[in-house]
Structure formats: C-alpha cells, structure tokens
Amino acid sequence: MSQPTSDAASQRGFIVWFTGMSGAGKSTLSTAVRNQLQATRSVEVLDGDEVRTFLSRGLGFTRPDREENIRRIGYVARVLARHRVAVISAAISPYRESRNEVRRLASEAGIPFIEVYAQASLDALVHRDVKGLYKKALAGEIPHFTGISDPYEPPESPEVTVRTDSETVEAGVERILATLRARGLIA
C-alpha cells in the first residue's frame, strides 16, 4: 500500500465498485485505476476471486451466498474507506439489490461510492473466455453461471459505464478518473 500525500483530495476514502459479468474487464480496469491512484494515495483492490478465497471461503453460488459475499466485500470496503483508503472492488456482484445495499451503507457512513459498470456483449465475453467457461455454461455443464443460468442485473444508473467490447482500457480509465476528479475525490 502506497503512502498518501498531504493534498486534500487524498485525505478522504472512497469506494469504486466495479460490476459486470465474468470476463467483462473488471479486474483489468480496476488494476489500471489502482496503478493511476497509488502514486498519490493509499489504494486497496478487493478482487472478487481473491475475496472468495480468503474472506468468503465456503460460500457457494446460490443467491443468498452471493449476497453474503457482496455484504462482506462492502463491509471491508467501508472499513478501509473510513481510514482514507481508496477502495476498488472488482466483483461480479450480479444482484442490483445487493449493490444498492452496499451503496446505501457507504452513503450512511459518509463514504463516497462510485459504481462502474464493465459492460460487454455475450458474444465478446464468449470470444475472450480463455477458460471456456461460457461455452460450458451455455452447454449446461456449469450450474449457477451468472448471465447464463443465473441472472445478472445490470445497474440502472452507474456513475460510469465502460463498454469493454468497443472501448479501450485507457479511455475507460480516463472517464473513471474524470468522475473521481469531478467529485473532488482525487486531484
């Protein structure tokens, strides 16, 4: 974790919550945003796969388990943000209600919350899927696969939508950073 500078924008923690289907580019975008921010402030990335390994081990992929996973990520994000950390969450977080709950709890704690929707067409996701998970899910071989046999509820009004199937990572990152600047969260 890098040390924050003394400028006023780095004195406030916030949450940037990336949501989108598997392979939509959440981790790629979150890493790029982290790389831009870490030179001037403390930043932590809560990656969905890592959280499932270390914080949510034992949870499955039923709706209640997925909702509990998101609650846990939201809790850790709030704790870090209260300590002036820029928190970046990159988890599928398929249910709108769960994301809205995380947003509401952050707001109640006075923590700025920026939702970023990493959006890509199903064709693009299938094409870029090196593990072949989408093909298996489409063939019925993987139960509870988000966007195929389980729902993915897109955000209704995210602060930023990045069309990862038609937009460069750099362009998406710049729009995210511009949103953070406009909110006074970064210099």
**Active site members:** 93
> Pairing state of beta strands 160-163 and 113-119?
parallel
Pairwise CA distance, residues 172 & 161, whole Å:
8
Strand partners, 118: 162
- Residues with Cβ within 8 Å of 119's Cβ and at least 6 positions away in sequence, in order, are 20, 24, 154, 161, 162, 163, 164, 165
Question: Cα angle vertex 46, ends 78, 33, to 5°?
Answer: 100
User: What radius of gyration, in Å, describes the C-alpha atoms of the chain?
Assistant: 16
Helices (H), the chain: 26-37, 48-54, 63-82, 96-108, 122-128, 133-138, 169-182
Of 64, 121, 124, the residue nearest 94 (C-alpha): 64
CB 122 within 8 A of CB 20: no
Reading the block at residue 94, the tokens are 């398929």
